[in-house]
Structure 1
């Protein structure tokens, strides 16, 4: 015969597992099985009206426990070893209403180690993307047969454009897709290849000196803006609405600039674009940093964070190259 701990309450309560194959209190009768000694009942718990306290036990919730959120069918407040678990809210244990899983809905950036690891992961992905892009640009810029072959097959540009939009929409709009490996890396790789191909086709129409100058200026600007974003007390994460309106205005201005063939219009358009995406780089960098800023990105969004930074850097490079080309034309 198995003898269970039947010490006085409250010590005996936490060390007594439920009888085998018996329902929880509040869901039916709870007699001891045949052959087991009678055990003390469980303390009063709101949500278990059919389990009255035994004679002699104090009424109401007991110290060290909070049964305010316990309802019918919830497990008792002890673990599998029968040990008491004092906690202030059952939602903290079972993920009920008001509970937020930090791995899904948010992220506590107060842990410096975790935050720095997340930032290192994002910048590692970004460096791989930029390396692929620079390799494509150098290939098209210095290997004339490849550039001529690509120009003779314009369907490649259309295919790249389709891949670019499909992969970007999937990564930007489908949260489950961009968080699930390896699908997120596959889509990010396809996006990077398509963007690199299209950017290399555009850069190949410029002189090599102009492209190298644009690369150097872009690197200096992005490095300076990144250091500024890490050190400044200004919170750029609150500028999301302003940046959205500004990019819509820039898009309309770009459509007008297509039909207005003017060197001044091109320079103004490219200058505004470079300034706007410089602000976007500050905004996305601080979103990645989290911490003292109002808004931040979840640690599961490392692919999305790298995508944002990559698009910012590429747009800054394109607009700076446009400024250099228009000023030397």
Structure 2
């Protein structure tokens, strides 16, 4: 049977990785969708693209009725944590209201929905966390993503929630940086950087997250899955690994704690995920952080 998969947010980091992965899968028809023009048109001219603003209920209804996907992987979201804190109405519209519209349309048409969520629904007191850990967000972004999860879980249509942690990767025409490239580029420029050593995460390579979403959709899996790496690291420890890999000066890296930064949104201190469920039920196998650094080096370094 052919899976017809529609991806929202195909211009984003995860969306681009899903397009790269899914367009080559046998018995899979891919529909990419995003706000604005298709950034991947030149790279994947064979992939069908439809413009879709997920905050527009009429557009959501029309596109899903016309395209008739069997699966929808929802990656579009407002993910800048400080922006979400400062622009709460916009955050709620993009992260919660949009999910209401998608869930409604998926329920009407019997579409399997994979919804991407985050470790920021948790308080950060007890990581690494299994899927049944009790949520307790400490910022508005986390509150919005938890509200979206609750909407998904109430859907009568088949659903899965894929939670992830600190996603890093590189993509085409994509403005945002990530911890690996930020550390590498800062140190190459001889710039001293301050990196926190009291926050714990299991950093997730974007390709691994795409693989996890694909495994869920392909197996028509339902329920909640934690998709990340299995290594619990602080950003400071990550920065040291990046410096070692690229043979850069670690003396430029200063270890600090989170209280030395003044940011609009609080960050949970200790999250990270236990991924045994995804490994056992889906066959998910993530890269190590070292392998992730090496992949980014191949993708971004021309020398």
Say yes or no: TM over 0.5.
no
Shorter-chain TM-score: what band?
Answer: under 0.3
Q: What is the TM-score normalised by the length of structure 2?
A: 0.19
Greater Cα radius of gyration, structure 1 or 2: 1
Larger relative contact order (CA 8 Å, sep ≥ 6): 2
For normalisation by structure 1, the TM-score amounts to 0.18
**Structure with more of its chain in helix, by fraction:** 1
More strand by share: 2
